Structure 1
């Protein structure tokens, strides 16, 4: 788990690289928009990020 609280209003981008026991690497990218707006009760589905295998 990663808990992150931004201390500003700019958007943030995280790139996480995971390597398995066979030496295969995968990159997962997360983009966060740190807007400070009132919740209107509407739920929007947002993809978790781009997932791609990395070449060695």
Structure 2
């Protein structure tokens, strides 16, 4: 699942700025994708920390 979210976030960078602006204004789409990527990074870091601390 994380790979798919990261692919979506990466593909968003290729979209025209106008389209991103409309998506952000209508549904906070950009913000929500960034929050998902941040959450995935947080989970990955915590998972690695747990393994290292054992």
Superposition TM-score, scaled by structure 1 size: 0.26
Higher helix share: 2
**Rg comparison, structure with higher value:** 1
Higher strand share: 1
